[in-house]
Amino acid sequence: MADEAAVAALKAQPYFRSLDDEECKRLARALIERTFEKDHVVFLESDPCQGLYIVREGSVKIYKLSPEGREQVLTSVQAGGSFNEVAVFDGGPNPANVAAIQRTTLWIVPRAAIIDLIRRRPDVALAIIQNLGARLRHLVSLVEDLSLRHVSSRLAKLLLETASGREHALTQQEMAARLGTVREMIGRSLRQLEARGLIKIERGRIVIVDRQGLEKMV
């Protein structure tokens, strides 16, 4: 595979921006394309790593499961984004589970192709380090939220983040999975936010009434 869409997708990744057209085409020919229906598992934690995943269309969630089956969503990745870098670069198994949020098409860049590229192009290795640093900052922020913020504050932050419309409207169960809590707590917190005049719930849709008030909670 070396079509224009694949080459453009590779060039859009921070890892590969320094590559010229010929190198991008060479890497694009190694891509593997896979399509997953909504809610289908892309891979499981501890499975062998196939490579770096790029979302061509759709979106996925990256999550962990407790022994009791409770889900904690670490992040979601939209079209144009990538995931599974850690397993690619440390050679270990997949560190988390991934499932399609909607019908999703993925491109897989095989690990061997990336390692070969790193050996030939040190600038790619530098881009990888910088991007992994940004991912680490996100995880540190997540730990901070789970450890130090009340559920209502975490919910206010999530509502502000998803208000842009780039993601589909989240159900209360999905919110609970993002925030490391249970659905009942989300329902209670939403009612509290509505009673304070910060949001309005209309036919199951959450409308932000007082953005500044939510920002103060965060």
Give 99-134 pLDDT, tens digit per residue. 999 999 999 999 999 999 888 888 888 888 887 777
Determine which helix (DSSP H) or strand (DSSP E) holds 205, and give its type and residue range. strand 205-208
The pLDDT of residue 2 is above 70: no
User: Looking at per-residue confidence, does 207 or 110 come out higher?
Assistant: 110
Domain ranges of the chain: 4-141, 149-217
Q: Which fold has domain 4-141?
A: Jelly Rolls (2.60.120)
Higher pLDDT, 68 or 61: 61
E-strand ranges in 11-163 read 32-36, 41-43, 51-57, 59-65, 71-78, 82-83, 97-100, 104-110
CATH 3.50.50.60 for domain 149-217, yes or no, is no
Say whether 78 sits in a helix, a strand or coil: strand
**What local confidence, expressed as pLDDT, does residue 164 receive?**
62
Within 8 A by CB and 6+ apart from 31, the residues are 1, 6, 107, 108, 109
**Which CB contacts under 8 angstroms, 24+ apart, belong to 20-24?**
23/117, 23/121
pLDDT surpasses 70 at 188: yes
Q: Which residue has the higher pLDDT, 156 or 163?
A: 156
187 phi, psi to nearest 5 deg: -60, -40
Task: State whether the Cα torsion 154-160-86-140 is positive or negative.
Answer: negative
Per-residue buried b or exposed e for 110-126, using 16+ beta carbons within 10 Å of the residue's own CB: bbebbeebbeebeebee
Neighbouring residues of 215: CB distance < 8 A, sequence distance ≥ 6 = 156, 160
Question: pLDDT per residue over 160-187, tens digit each?
Answer: 888 765 556 788 888 888 887 888 888 8
pTM value? 0.69
E strand or H helix at 85: helix 85-90
Asked whether the domain spanning 149-217 has the same topology as the one spanning 4-141, the reply is no
What mean pLDDT do residues 47-70 have?
92
Tens-digit pLDDT profile for residues 3-17: 788 888 898 888 888
